Amino acid sequence: MAMSADYLPVRVDREVLFDEEGGATKRPSLYVRQGVLEALELHGPEWKFADASLITASLNEPIFVFNGLNRPSIQEGYCYVARPSHRISLDGQQEPVPHDRVFLVFVEKEFGLVAFDWEWRVAANGSGRPVDWEIDFPGGVKWSRT
């Protein structure tokens, strides 16, 4: 599939799954569709648009990547799980992330990896894995920081 100009590349130092280096001289391998961001910018919710700023760090430094999204229409997909320390509150200030939350970014493999959604979930027992991860991601852990 050809890459559309409608996709914004994500700045990566090294893509953890495929061990690809990023940087200005390399073709980026991670993207977000601009239309998704524009819809959120216009209609909200405001936290979700603000949290798009967490995507770059989350894709660069996940704590887990789960294999397969277990949903229709996605042939090859991954879930990057990160634990940012802060996020932006609705009044524009930085606020700490509750200790029992993890940030999930869902990506589909197309011309590169395209992030199409992101959300917060409750973490399982401080492990950094989201609760019910064994059910939600039957493909298991594809990559882990440790």
Binding site for other proteins (CB under 8 A): 8-11, 28, 32-34, 36-37, 39-50, 52-53, 55-56, 70-74, 90, 92, 98, 101, 104, 106, 108, 114, 116-117, 119-122, 131-132, 135-136
Does residue 112 contact residue 102 with C-beta atoms inside 8 Å?
no
Shortest distance, position 40 Cβ to other proteins, whole Å = 6
Torsion over CA of 96, 101, 10 and 88, rounded to 10 degrees? -30
Least distance CB 143 / other proteins (angstroms): 20
Place of tokens 């277990």: 70
Question: What is the rounded CA–CA span in Å between residue 72 and residue 99?
Answer: 32
Least separation, in Å, of the C-beta of 1 and other proteins? 12
Which one, 36 or 63, has the nearer CB to other proteins?
36
Phi-psi sector, 119: left (phi>0), alpha (psi -120 to 50), beta: beta
Q: Which is nearer to other proteins, 51 or 146 (CB)?
A: 51
Nearer to other proteins, 20 or 117 (CB): 117
- Please, which residue, 43 or 146, has the CB nearer to other proteins? 43
The amino acid sitting at 6 is D
- Burial of residue 69 (CB within 10 Å: 0-12, 13-18, 19+) is buried
